[in-house]
Chain A
């Protein structure tokens, strides 16, 4: 993983309305222990990541958006490999941030990912 590594984020079908993706797709939920799960794009292509998420993990996704490691770091968000659930798993770490900062950084990540566009759409 390096600064240009794409971090792939699966988007739930209900997280899209009239083409708009919600910013909550890029912030951890209360049960995520402040860590947002992503796929390490150096280890898995968007197609393979999508297949893993929907077939192996049997979760729902309408596609993938992505941010890079450096884009996260520009927002003071650390990125770490987290191979415990599966080898290609990584996390964007929001630990220690208050709610307002979580919201702001989530919104910024979403805008960056939006500007990049969909890497894959089902």
Chain B
């Protein structure tokens, strides 16, 4: 009879895990964790049985890790260790449970050490640490997987930071991979080599093309000459210093609107100090990130994308035309305040308003005012 024992109850923390739900993409991380547990269990077995040359048959095959339920808070997958053949059923009976539990404890100890910036090599080998390139890769900023959630003082948090620490702790690691969301122009694509080149501000990288994306990439190559960009999501490979060097896999690709806000703001990252008549201030990259996210979050898709221009004092100017109305929003960075001005060139009517773009209410006012002038129903 298969035997099933409670094995691990890690806690997933973050907004995405509220209401005790787990996004499907996170299951990839848990599958990679299972692979690591098996490898570390085998390692413990060989270390404890130095007279054995190899792992006994059935050590791995008869064991599996299964999610048997999800508890609340934020989400806690209940992982059971299931042993298909109970001890005593085989010619060489053994109890794998001990080695799997030791494996679990080694992994928890390594993550705990990583969280405290301590050496991890006494718990796991380099080849084990390489698994952290996949375990936790889908975790976003602010999210974590607490492997030892029962210990509130030291829950062994796997997050973007500890995952990177563990991956790079292996002396042989040349870098790490991470999920990336990029915007750029396809400047080269090879059907024969199944690869393409993506040009971004200050950076050109190569990536593979999977069959389902071939048509879009080739279309993007044609349109790239006219400056039309693409949005790409996939797995990026980074150097030890955190420099993106290539795309390892491509998951989603789509053509960008020629007026895409993020792509246009990316162009401003290439500005140099003094760019405008020797005195142009460069908008801070973090502020361009913020403005991109702010438009994504607050600007209605029913409205036309604004024309965007850098200003000499380090801000961004957004402009729209609505019939006789010429509209501008002068955005101050890093203050995140904005000055709205609209002029009816036929009647000379004009109006102005100061906005605080840190406030959702002011973004709502902006959308409403634009919708009214543009005749758009939000």
Distance between Cα atoms of A22 and B328 in the complex (Å): 9
Q: Are B345 and A111 in contact (CB under 8 A)?
A: yes
Q: Are B311 and A24 in contact (CB under 8 A)?
A: yes
- Among B264, B267, B310, B341, chain A packs the most CB atoms within 10 A around the CB of B341
Q: Name which of B66-74, B160-168, B268-276 contacts chain A.
A: B268-276
* Per-residue B-contact encoding for A6-44, CB less than 8 Å = 1, 0 else: 000000101101101011100001110000000000000
Indicate if B215 sits at the interface (CB-CB under 8 A): no
- Of all chain A residues, which has the CB nearest B227? A18
Q: Are B317 and A14 in contact (CB under 8 A)?
A: no
Known contacts A18-B258, A18-B259, A20-B319: A111-B326 contact under CB 8 Å: yes
Q: Name which of A64-72, A86-94, A96-104 contacts chain B.
A: A96-104
Q: Are A20 and B313 in contact (CB under 8 A)?
A: no
Chain A interface size, as a band, is: 20 to 34
User: A104 contacts which of B308, B339, B343 (Cβ < 8 Å)?
Assistant: B343
* Per-residue B-contact encoding for A101-122, CB less than 8 Å = 1, 0 else: 0011001100100000000000
Distance between Cα atoms of A20 and B309 in the complex (Å): 10
Distance between Cα atoms of A107 and B352 in the complex (Å): 14
- Of all chain A residues, which has the CB nearest B318? A22
Q: Are A18 and B276 in contact (CB under 8 A)?
A: no
Name the distance in Å between A84's Cβ and chain B's nearest Cβ.
16
Distance between Cα atoms of A24 and B343 in the complex (Å): 14
* Per-residue A-contact encoding for B248-268, CB less than 8 Å = 1, 0 else: 000000000011000010011
Q: Are B345 and A24 in contact (CB under 8 A)?
A: no
Name the distance in Å between A64's Cβ and chain B's nearest Cβ.
15
* Per-residue A-contact encoding for B279-300, CB less than 8 Å = 1, 0 else: 1000000000000000000000
Known contacts A18-B259, A23-B319: A59-B278 contact under CB 8 Å: yes
- Of all chain B residues, which has the CB nearest A12? B276
Chain B residues with CB under 8 A of A15 = 309
Chain B residues with CB under 8 A of A30 = 312-313
Chain B residues with CB under 8 A of A59 = 277-278
Q: Are A107 and B345 in contact (CB under 8 A)?
A: yes
Chain A residues with CB under 8 A of B341 = 99-100, 103-104
Given A12-B276, A18-B259, A111-B326, 4 more A-B residue pairs with CB atoms under 8 Å apart are A14-B267, A14-B268, A22-B307, A29-B311
Complex A-B, nearest 9 residue pairs according to Cβ-Cβ distance, in ascending order = A103-B341, A22-B309, A29-B312, A107-B326, A100-B352, A104-B343, A17-B307, A107-B343, A20-B307
Instruction: Give A contacts to B, CB under 8 Å.
Output: 12, 14-15, 17-18, 20, 22-24, 29-31, 59-60, 99-100, 103-104, 107-108, 111
